[in-house]
Every structure is written in C-alpha cells, then in structure tokens.
C-alpha cells in the first residue's frame, strides 16, 4: 500500500486510495508505459477527492511526478478520473519564475520591427510642458508659447530619468572606469574630435566624432579617453644601447686591481706624448699657412712692379726729343719667378729654425 498523505481536516477516502491500478491504466492511455514509474503516494485534495502520484522516468524531467486526480460521488463505489498532469517534485529542475514582458525585456533586446511601448506612468518621463529637460542657463522665454500652440514634445526626460542615463553612460564602456580609458594618457575633454552637447547632460558628456575611435558616434564622458586623442604624440624612437666594451687582450681578462697613491700621482707619459704630437702638428699647419701667405704677397708685389715699369716705358716713348729714357726692366723689379723662389726659401728657413728650437731644451 502506497503512503497516504492526510491533513487534520482532510482524510483520504479508502476507496479512492485503493484505485491505484485504475489511475495507472488511465495514465497509460496518454503516456508510454516505460515513462511511468512506481506509485509514490496518494494525497487528499478535498472530501472524496484524492491524487495518485507516480514517478516520471523521462530523463528530461528528473524529479517530476505524474499526478492522477480521482473522485467519487457520495453513496457510490464507482471511482472516476478527473485529470492527469505532470507536476514538479522536490529537487526537480524548474524554469525561472515567470515575469511580465515589461519586466523581462532588457537593453539590447529590441530588434528590427519590434515595438516597445512606454508605460504612461514611467518615472523616467514627465509632461513636456514642465520643461524638466531644459538647462537653467538657456533662454527659454519662448518655450511656454510653443507648448500652448502644441508644438512641443508630449513628454520629456525627468530628473530621475536623466540621472539614470548619466549613471548608465558613466558605468559603461565609454565611461571613465573602462579599461581603454584607464590606459589612455589624455581625456576626451581636451580632444578636438569631441562634439559638445547642450542641456544638463552636456556638462559631463559629449559626442565622439573620430572614425578611428571605438567610441565613434557614441556618447562619451568628458573624463573618458582612448588612444585616438587628437593631441596624441607618436612614440619616441628607441634608444640605441652600445654593448659594454671589455679589454679582452689582458691575460687575466678585465683588470680590476686598484691603483696605489703613487700610481695615481705619477704623470701619464702616454698622454703627455699625445699632447706634444698634437701641438707639433698644429705648429706645422700654421707654418704652412704663413708660407702660402708670404708667396701670395710676393706675387702681388711683382705684378705691381711690372705695371709700374710698363707705365714708365710708355711715358718715355711719348716724351720730348731728348734721348729716350732706358730703364732696365730687370734692375727695376725682380722677376716674379725669382721673387716666389726667394719667398719659398725664406719660409723653409723659418720652419727649420722653429723645428730646431722645438728640439732644444731650455735649462734654467
């Protein structure tokens, strides 16, 4: 006998409790026999009304039970079946609790051709004549006339709706706490691609107009940011690092022995020789320049002398009947070739004297 569930007020009728096979036969008319399990219990629903519960063997309905409701009329022993149904039991898998569509719909569910009506008492909206969406700094003198003529919107954003939108935008992907904003070096408030918004929301938000930004065409908070900022600078070129140069010619590798005080105070003969060699090269270069200058000066004097001689000869040829003045051109001025040779010889002599003086040590 299957267990009988009774309450203080209700008692299962014995004839209804004994109708187990009748309930199974009626259930088998609509359900395959392999889906009907063992008889679990009989529950009193009302006076002369009871429900037989059978286990459900369907793998998709683990924990569910087949329920067969039976009854009889008073003073009659004939038991009849009211209905059969599948009911969940303890631990059975259930669908989420049903919600009305206006509570079940979420942002992003609206598709092409869908219509989402707004409730008349939606707290996000207020009548348009209230002017709740206007900025206190705007000139709204003509707004009341417009509403009287029926030219305004029926409803506008309420303060609650505006604050909800601001919180939603700030917490979204275009707000200050998104990963791309935290990694950016500059904010949208200083970007040239930001389109300013009017009204109360324009104090904290704007519209992005950079096609290369992931926020293009979207509302962004002024403290948002991305790598497509108008003032973004290119990365500096990499710094070339030269490898460490180690003296590997030493038999012991790198010499790390500390120098003594005497070694530190001793003069660096190699450095002194290097300085003396550089000084000698500098003196030789200056001497060469001086010789070239002297040669150029002598050549210029020779040209002037030739011009003077030619002028004297011309004057003598055009003079009186006196004997012509004969001027020995060789005696009047030295030959240019001779003058250049003498200048080069003089420069060579000066250079040899300077060299010999460099080799003589002065004793004090």
* DSSP codes of every residue in 17-33: HT-HHHHHHHHHTTS-G
The three-class DSSP label of residue 52 is strand
Domain ranges, ordered by start, for the chain: 4-88, 121-234, 269-355
The DSSP symbol for 326 reads: P
Find out whether 3 and 41 touch, Cβ atoms under 8 Å: yes
Query: Locate tokens 């598709």: which residue?
Result: 111
Query: Locate tokens 């509302």: which residue?
Result: 219
Of residues 93 and 316, which shows the higher confidence score?
93
Q: Across the chain, what does the average pLDDT equal?
A: 78
pLDDT tens digits, one per residue of 59-99:
889 899 999 999 999 988 899 999 999 999 888 888 888 88
- Residue 327: what pLDDT? 45
- Residue 314: what pLDDT? 76
pLDDT tens digits, one per residue of 113-141:
877 778 888 888 888 777 666 665 555 55
Is residue 169 predicted with pLDDT exceeding 60?
Answer: yes
User: Strand 205-208 relative to strand 219-221: parallel, antiparallel, unpaired?
Assistant: antiparallel
Say which CATH class 4-88 falls into: alpha beta
Q: Is this model's pTM higher than 0.75 or not?
A: no
- Residue 175: what pLDDT? 94
Of residues 235 and 38, which shows the higher confidence score?
38
Spatial distance between the Cα atoms of 57 and 215, rounded to a whole number of angstroms: 54
Instruction: Read off the tokens for 79.
Output: 């038991």
The closest alpha carbon to 39, from 71, 2, 90, belongs to 2
pLDDT tens digits, one per residue of 271-301:
777 778 888 888 777 777 777 777 777 777 7
């Amino acid at each position: 006998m299957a267990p009988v569930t009774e309450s203080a007020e209700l008692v299962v009728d014995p004839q209804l409790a004994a109708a187990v096979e009748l309930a199974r036969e009626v259930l088998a008319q609509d359900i395959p026999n392999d889906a009907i399990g063992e008889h679990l219990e009989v529950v009193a629903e009302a006076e002369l009304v009871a429900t037989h519960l059978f286990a459900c063997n369907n793998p998709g309905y683990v924990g569910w039970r087949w329920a067969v409701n039976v009854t009889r009329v008073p003073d009659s022993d004939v038991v009849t079946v009211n209905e059969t149904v599948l009911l969940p039991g303890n631990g059975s898998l259930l669908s989420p609790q049903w919600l009305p569509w206006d509570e079940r719909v979420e942002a992003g569910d609206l598709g092409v051709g869908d219509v989402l009506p707004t409730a008349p008492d939606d707290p996000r909206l207020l009548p348009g004549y209230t002017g709740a969406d206007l900025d206190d700094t705007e000139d709204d003198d003509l707004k009341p006339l417009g509403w009287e003529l029926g030219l305004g919107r029926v409803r506008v954003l309420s303060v609650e709706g505006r604050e909800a939108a601001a919180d939603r935008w700030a917490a979204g992907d275009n707000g200050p706490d998104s990963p791309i904003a935290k990694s950016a070096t500059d904010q949208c408030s200083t970007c040239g691609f930001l389109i300013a918004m009017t009204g109360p929301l324009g104090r904290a938000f704007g519209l992005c107009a950079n096609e290369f930004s992931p926020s293009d065409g979207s509302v962004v908070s002024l403290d948002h940011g991305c790598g497509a900022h108008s003032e973004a600078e290119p990365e500096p070129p990499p710094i070339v690092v030269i490898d460490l140069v180690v003296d590997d010619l030493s038999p012991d590798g790198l010499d790390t022995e500390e120098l003594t005080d005497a070694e530190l105070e001793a003069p660096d003969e190699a450095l002194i020789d290097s300085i003396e060699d550089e000084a000698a090269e500098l003196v030789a270069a200056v001497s060469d320049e001086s010789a070239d200058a002297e040669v150029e000066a002598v050549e210029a004097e020779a040209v002037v002398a030739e011009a003077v001689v030619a002028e004297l000869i011309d004057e003598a040829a055009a003079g009186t009947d006196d004997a012509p003045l004969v001027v020995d051109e060789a005696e009047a001025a030295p030959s240019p070739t001779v003058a250049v040779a003498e200048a080069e010889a003089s420069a060579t002599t000066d250079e040899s004297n300077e060299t010999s003086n460099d080799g003589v040590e002065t004793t004090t």
